[in-house]
Amino acid sequence: MLILFFRFFSRKIFIDHFGIEVLGLNTTITNLLGLLNLTELGIGSAVSYFLYMPLARSDREAVNEIVSLQGWLYRRVAYIILAGGTVMMMLFPWTFSQMKPPLWYAYGMFTVLLAGAVLGYVANYRQIVLNADQQAYKITYSVKGWQAFGVIIQILGIKYLHYGYFFYLVIEAGVAIMCCLSLNRTVRQNYPWLHPDLSEGKRLLRKYDGITRKTKQLFFHKISFYVVDQTGPLIIYGCLSLPMVAVYGNYLAIITNISVLFSALFEGMRAGIGNLATEKNPRQIQAFFQEYITIRYWLAAIICFCLYQLTTPFISLWFGSEYLIDAVSFHILILTTFLSMANSFELFLSAFGLFQDVFSSVTEGVLHLSFSILLGSCWGLPGILAGRLIGLLFQICWKPYFLYSRGFQISVKVYIGLLIKIMSLIAVAASICRIMTLHFISLSHSLMEWIYNSILHIVYSMPVFFLLFIMFSKEFRNAVRRFLPIAMPKF
């Protein structure tokens, strides 16, 4: 949360000192780099899947071999990204021909991000063991402190130095290096026996040919993820303008950072779900899935209700009313955020190794891209966001069917019944909370009033949602009984 605050403060400083167009440029550059990261092909997810069993059996030799193969593959990915980035930079004079800031801003930002990406593939690949071994939180501890420190220094540099943007880029590069060193130190401390030998890569590629097979399937999922999550700002830039990218980016920054925190709450379950899947008991894991999805919907509903109530006044107070998006776009954005948060089947599909539904990822990407461009050219930002929603709705219909039929091996009707009950409870709870906030919470005229109102929204919404779910959802009660004994000692 501290980093989230600092990042928003830095966005304000950025707009005040460099203008909204430079902020939009940074967002666009970041998404262009995401295109190059497609060359990762999904290797990390495939490797993580193949690490579950050796880690559960404490088979250190197998872990070293699999990580060695990953390092060998990632070294080649880094070469491709470096070459692709060089070609992409040659096109910058054409790509950014209409922008007002100096062209070196684009070159500088892209070079720093490209170097950070290459460094991650070459030096940080061993962190995959922490992810697969239920210790992903240690990755967060290793990098967040440096990131917060970097943002503070960048704010001071932009505000008080004449060459603020150059200083901003230097600190960005320095933070990437320090995060890399910190991550490697964390891996060495936790796995002193981990010594990958990249020279064995070719031989291990034949031994673990299943990684290659899974990677080929995951590549299409990777493309779909990029098209759905990364192309929005690029389409906005193409259909609208760089300033609109920055305006949308303010909302996206709020939603992305909150989504990252939300996902982190469940990411620690990845290895446990993977181990549960290895026990070959679909009924048991399906029962856990029902509790898991109920908790996700419950928490996502509370978060998105607060986002709906609080985002517009915050943007207006912090950046100014001229940086607000239209009401239709905002409603679509909140709905898309809720559905994205609540409907996550990736942990369970990965646990079962179910990556073969290539057509679904391709279909989602095509729907998103085609409808975003078509509707965006007709209706602007609401049309672009509607295209994202259309692609998401397809996956929400397909993924449960695929998981239940291939993973749990039971009818998806069980899930449909659960979903109807969950959505009914959310509708009732949201209506009650909406009425309460309209009657008991006044408008925010300052940031202090906004903070006070934010606390009131949480105080009103959480008990209402909790009481309705605890009274009418057996799955929610089971989840509370399961997780409360784990959570209480930590407090």
Tens of pLDDT, residues 59-95: 888 889 888 988 888 888 888 889 988 998 998 888 8
Do the beta carbons of residue 180 and residue 123 sit within 8 Å?
Answer: yes
How many of the other CB atoms lie within 10 Å of CB of 265?
11
Q: What is the pLDDT of residue 27?
A: 81
Which of 400, 405, 448, 444 is CA-nearest to residue 420? 400
Distance spanning both ends of the chain, measured CA to CA: 18
d(CA 380, CA 235): 10
Count of residues making up the chain? 491
Do the beta carbons of residue 85 and residue 35 sit within 8 Å?
Answer: no
Q: What is the mean pLDDT of the chain?
A: 84
Q: What is the pLDDT of residue 3?
A: 66
Q: What is the DSSP letter of 326?
A: P
Do the beta carbons of residue 387 and residue 372 sit within 8 Å?
Answer: yes
d(CA 466, CA 268): 23
Q: Does 428 have pLDDT greater than 90?
A: yes
Q: What is the pLDDT of residue 171?
A: 92
Do the beta carbons of residue 237 and residue 24 sit within 8 Å?
Answer: yes
Where b means 16+ CB within 10 Å and e means fewer, 148-165 reads bbbbbbbbebbeeeeebb
Q: What is the pLDDT of residue 271?
A: 64
Q: What is the pLDDT of residue 364?
A: 84
Rounded mean pLDDT, 200-218: 78
Q: Does 239 have pLDDT greater than 50?
A: yes
Q: What is the pLDDT of residue 51?
A: 82
Do the beta carbons of residue 154 and residue 93 sit within 8 Å?
Answer: no
Of the listed ranges 20-24, 119-123, 337-341, 354-358, the least confidently predicted one is: 354-358
Q: Does 264 have pLDDT greater than 60?
A: yes
d(CA 354, CA 342): 20
Q: How confident is the model at residue 405 (pLDDT cuts 50, 70, 90)?
A: confident
Coil vs helix vs strand at 430: helix
Q: Which residues contact 144 (CB under 8 A, 6 or more apart)?
A: 3
For the whole model, what pTM was predicted? Answer: 0.76
Q: What is the pLDDT of residue 41?
A: 58
d(CA 54, CA 50): 8
Domain residues of the chain, as ranges?
A: 1-207, 216-482
* Model confidence pLDDT, tens digit, residues 19-43: 888 888 888 888 788 767 666 556 7
* Model confidence pLDDT, tens digit, residues 369-400: 899 999 998 899 999 999 999 988 998 889 99
Rounded mean pLDDT, 135-152: 80
Q: How confident is the model at residue 285 (pLDDT cuts 50, 70, 90)?
A: confident
d(CA 473, CA 298): 11
d(CA 387, CA 332): 10
Q: What is the pLDDT of residue 491?
A: 40
Of the two residues 278 and 343, the one the predictor is more confident about is 343
Q: What is the pLDDT of residue 268?
A: 67
Q: What is the DSSP letter of 444?
A: P
Q: What is the pLDDT of residue 161?
A: 81
Two tokens, residue 175: 């933070």
Q: Give the torsion sign (CA, 142, 145, 149, 155).
A: positive
Q: Does 429 have pLDDT greater than 90?
A: yes
Which of 107, 46, 112, 121 is CA-nearest to residue 79? 121
Quote the percentage of the chain above a pLDDT of 70. Answer: 92
